[in-house]
Amino acid sequence: MDSLEGRIIPEWIETLSEDEVFVFGSNLEGMHGGGAARMAYERFGAVWGRGVGRQGQCYAIPTMHGGLDVIKPYVDDFVEYARCHPENRFLLTRVGCGIAGFADREMAPLFAAVLDLPNVYVPREWLAFLVPQGCQKADAGQAKLDA
């Protein structure tokens, strides 16, 4: 597992490089009216009326249609897509933690598989929920030994 410390998204994303993909929470109808979805639509090529998957320099994960159990398959699809596209850097926003109303502690664990994907960058707020505290300390200790 790579250290996530080097894979933290900026607090505010205004531009993307050619290989970057903005990952945002959406709704199944693709009504990108607010939050990160609106930014995806206005800046990064999200398609109005399309609420799932890759579009422009974006990847939409629907989060407004039910609980975590119905969101998880869409998260798994994203993880597989990112795994199959190592040429891209995926900037994962706090999917589901805005208008959808989920807490970071609820959403972040759904994305635990990204720990094994060096091309997925995560929000700082999710670090504590993706890597157990004991593991963060162990990783820091190992880094000191490797230096």
Where in 16-147 does DSSP place strands (E)? 20-26, 53-55, 58-62, 89-92, 120-121
At 4 the pLDDT is 74
Classify residue 44 as exposed, middle or buried by CB count within 10 Å of its CB (0-12, 13-18, 19+): buried
Instruction: Note whether residue 123 is domain-resident.
Output: yes
Give the domain CATH number at 83: 3.40.220.10
Instruction: Note whether residue 11 is domain-resident.
Output: no
Question: Within 10 A of 65 (CB to CB), how many other CB atoms are there?
Answer: 14
Instruction: Note whether residue 9 is domain-resident.
Output: no
CA–CA gap between residue 38 and residue 146 (Å, rounded): 43
Using one digit for the tens of pLDDT, what is the confidence trace for 32-91?
Answer: 999 999 999 999 999 999 999 999 999 999 999 999 999 999 999 999 999 999 999 999
Percent of the chain with pLDDT over 70: 87
Instruction: Note whether residue 79 is domain-resident.
Output: yes
- Number of folded domains that form the chain: 1
Question: Within 10 A of 31 (CB to CB), how many other CB atoms are there?
Answer: 15
Under the banding of pLDDT at 50, 70 and 90, the label for residue 139 is: low
φ/ψ (deg, to 5) at 40: -60, -40
At 126 the pLDDT is 94
Residue 128 has pLDDT above 50, yes or no: yes
Q: What is the DSSP letter of 3?
A: -
CA–CA gap between residue 144 and residue 83 (Å, rounded): 29
Using one digit for the tens of pLDDT, what is the confidence trace for 110-119?
Answer: 999 999 999 9
* Strand, coil or helix: 39: helix
Instruction: Note whether residue 1 is domain-resident.
Output: no
| Domain residue limits at 55 | 16-146
Residue 30 has pLDDT above 60, yes or no: yes
Under the banding of pLDDT at 50, 70 and 90, the label for residue 17 is: very high
